[in-house]
Amino acid sequence: MRGTYKNGQETPPTATTISVVNPATEEALATINATPSEAVDEIITASWKTFHSGVWSRKDPSDRFAVLSRASTLLRGRINDFVALETVQTGRPIREMRTQLARVPEWLDYFASLARVHEGRVTPFKGAVTNTLTRIPLGVVVLITPYNHPLLIAMKKIAAALAAGNVVIVKPSELAPLSVLKLGALFKEAGLPDGVLQIVSGYGRETGKYLCEHPKISKIDLTGGIATYRAIAPVAAMNMIPITAELGGKAPVCIFPSTDVETAVKAALFAGFIASGQTCVTGSRILVHKDIYDSFRSLLEKRVRALRVGDPTDEKTQIGSVISAAAIERCEAFVSRATAEGGTILCGGTRLTPTPEKKGYFFAPTVIETASTSDLANNEVFGPVLALIKCSDEDEIVRIANGTSYALGASVWSNDFTQAHSVADKIEAGIVWINGHHLNDPSSPWGGFKESGVGKENGVEAYESYTKVKSTVMNYGVKPVWFDDEVADARYG
C-alpha cells in the first residue's frame, strides 16, 4: 500500500518506507511509503490552491451535506473491512472494534447535517445598521492522528473540517495508518473534489513537524502527547494559527458505597482495560470509598485474573495486545517504579505470551495498590496498568481526582443522586460521566483542561473551530459624520 494520497490518487513509490507491524503477532502487515519533504511541500501548495479555487470552500452547504452523507453510506457498507483492518493493525479485540467502528459513520452524518443547518446571526448593532455574522472556512488544515483509535479519531476531525469547507491534510500514526489511508478513495467515490482531502505518511518528528511548520496552513488539530504539543505550539504562534490539541489523561473512576460491588468492579474493568488501557480517558485511577474497599478489591482481583488475553481476532478475547515493544517497556517501568514506591501488585505486572506462537506485545492486566502521591497515580501509562487507591471519604476522592496535571475525563459511580451530581460538579475535567465511562457522541464536545489539551472535538464547538467569523456591517440610515467645513477651514486655512 502506498503512503500518500495526493490530488485524488495514490502517488508512486518513494525511497523511504515504513513497515506496519501486527502487534499481536509481530509480523509485517504492510510496507508503506513515507512522504518526502518535497512532496509534502507540493501537497500543501496544491491544497492551498484548491482551497482558494473555491471548488469546496465556496460550495453550497447542501452540496457538502450530500458528499459527506454519501461517504457515510459508503463507510457503513464497508465497515466490516475496516473492522478487520483495525483489529490487526492495533491489536485490539475484534469485538471492541466492531462496536466502535459501527458508530464512526455517525460523525459524518452529524457534521453533514450541521453544515446544512448551521446559521449565522445578526447582532444588536446600535442605530440604523445591520451587522450579519457569517462563518467561513479557515483554509488548509493539518490533522495529526494517533494509533489507538485510527479511524474514529481521524473521522472526528475530518468530518468537522470538511463540513466547514476546509481543505484537509491528514497524517496518521506510522504505527497504524492503514485504515486512514483507505479514506482517500472512499471520499473520492462519494464525490469529494480531488485535492480536498490529502493524506501523507511518515514519522511525527519528520513529516508531522514539516507539516506543522509550513506557513500556508491555517490550523493544526493534534491528538497526541504534551511533548508534541509543546514542540509545535511556538511555531503555530509565530504563524498566527490556532491549535486544537487533545493530549493525555489520567482519568479517575470514583466509586461510592451506594454502588453495589458487582457493578463497581464491572465499571473499573470497562473503564481501565478497554483497548488495553491505550485511550486518553482510560480509567487508570480507581478511587474507592473505604466502606466498600475490601470487598471491591477482592472481587476486582478475581475478575482481572479471569480476563481472557490473547488473539485479537478471536471473538472470545477480551484483552488484546499493546501497540509495540516500547509500550511493553513503558508498562514494565511503571510497575517497577510503583513497587519501588511501596505499591502492592494485586495481579498482573508482567509481559505475557498468550498465543501459541509465543509472540506479540501482550501485557497482563495489572492492578497495583498504591498511594495517591505515587508516580503510577499521577502519570499516564497508556497501557493496562491501574492504580487502586483507598479513600476515606468524599472529600478525599474529589481531592485525589483533581490532584494531577491532567483533566480530560472522569467517572462518578453512585446511586445517591445528590452525591453523584455534587461530586461531578467538583471534579475538574472536560468530560465527567455519572454511572458510565467511555461514552461518546458526535454531538458531545470532547476535550480537557490543564495538560489534557485545548479546544474541543465533536459538537458545534468543533465545527466552529474550523471556521472564522466575518462581520458585514450595512448602514441603511446613519448619516455619515464629516469634518465641519468652517472648522476645517479655520484649522487648516
DSSP 54: T
Q: Are strands 219-223 and 344-347 parallel, antiparallel or unpaired?
A: unpaired
CA nearest to 320, candidates 384, 381, 253: 384
Respond yes or no: is residue 246 known to be catalytic: yes
Task: Please tell me what DSSP assigns to residue 457.
Answer: B
408, 225 Cβ separation under 8 angstroms: no
Distances in Å between the alpha carbon of 375 and those of 284, 301, 390, 437? 12, 21, 16, 23
User: Could you say which of 246, 369, 380, 451 is catalytic?
Assistant: 246
Segment (H or E) for 231? helix 226-238
User: Nearest-5° angle of CA 38, CA 42, CA 43?
Assistant: 115
Amino acid making up residue 227: A
* Coil, strand or helix at 344: strand
CB 421 within 8 A of CB 447: no
From the list 217, 281, 200, the residue with the least C-alpha distance to 246 is 281
Angle between helices 150-163 and 183-190 (to 10 degrees): 40
Catalytic positions are 246
